[in-house]
Amino acid sequence: MSGLKQNKIMEGNNKKHIVLVHGICHGAWCWYKVVTLLRLSGHRVTALDLGACGVHPRQLKEIATAADYVQPLMELLGNLPRDEKVVLVGHSYGGLPISLAMQSFPNKILVAVFLAAYMPNHYTPPATLIQEYFRRTRMETLMDCQLTFDKGLQNPPTSVIFGSNFMEAMVYTHCKPEDLELGRMLIRPGALFVEEMAKENLLTKDKYGSVKRVYIICEDDQIMDQEFQIHNIQNSPPCEVKSMAATGHMAMLSKPEELCFSLQEIIDDANMK
């Protein structure tokens, strides 16, 4: 990253509370580079573990509902001071938990950032995007991932854990070898909650739709490929779209400085409006 961009991150006057939400199989740990850079620039940063993720004490079998899964995020936002607004960032599947949080706490969110993430609209159930993703995905491309199909093979999987080969070939492209090994050590199985996400009226225009949204495209993402990311954008147009070139799925690990620069730009823009 150029010195100009680094200075932009370090010298920005708009210091905010940034909440980082991981994708499926991951945890707060995957944000460690971004957390460091954002805190050095003066921001308050919270990277949290959703239910049965990262170092969260519960096991996946104890997470019966999507509400259990997103409880750590809901508790965080519910306990914020009345006048505090956060910048909420969701990666990949993390776009769905932050969408539920936007519905519950629209007045607590300055801007929501979807990083190569599922970004639903307010008039069709969020599960529509999950179903569309698996409709586009050939099962052989999932390689050594382990999937469970409690609702039958004709429906999307109910849970998944990434395989080692899949992580190297598809998830951690553009990342350093040590970040791949960290991921292999720390991933945990994750649930998709498709049945719950298929319910009507989970998101509304008055609440979810009232929060400013920005989408960041990762152009070389092998998981949420660019075509599917654009589908998300067209399906639910955000206020702004940014793009990161030559960036794989784990942008927070492969290009943390560029990601932080984009977040600072989004914060600066949100404060001007």
Instruction: Tell me what pLDDT residue 1 has.
Output: 47
Q: Where are the domains of the chain?
A: 3-272
Tens digit of each residue's pLDDT, the chain (273 residues): 454 455 555 555 579 999 999 999 999 999 999 999 999 999 999 999 999 999 999 999 999 999 999 999 999 999 999 999 999 999 999 999 999 999 999 999 999 999 999 999 999 999 999 999 999 999 899 999 999 999 888 888 999 999 999 999 999 999 999 999 999 999 999 999 999 999 999 999 999 999 999 999 999 999 999 999 999 999 999 999 999 999 999 999 999 999 999 999 999 998 876
Of 88, 92, 112, 116, residue with least CA distance to 244: 116
Packing angle of the helix pair 66-78, 95-104 (nearest 10 deg): 60
Residue 118 burial (C-beta neighbours within 10 Å; 0-12, 13-18, 19+): buried
The contacts of residue 101 (CB under 8 Å, 6+ apart) are 70, 73, 74, 77, 88, 109
CA separation, residue 12 to residues 8, 251, 269 (Å): 6, 22, 12
- What is the amino acid identity at position 190? G
CA separation, residue 228 to residues 127, 140, 222, 225, 264 (Å): 15, 18, 10, 5, 26
- Tell me which architecture the domain covering 3-272 has in CATH: 3-Layer(aba) Sandwich (3.40)
Instruction: Tell me what pLDDT residue 273 has.
Output: 63
| Structure-block tokens of residue 60 | 């996946």
Flag whether the pTM goes above 0.75. yes
Residues with a catalytic annotation lie at: 92, 221, 249
| Structure-block tokens of residue 112 | 């929501």
SS3 (DSSP) at 43: coil
CB 25 within 8 A of CB 162: yes
Sign of torsion over alpha carbons 34, 66, 139, 233: negative
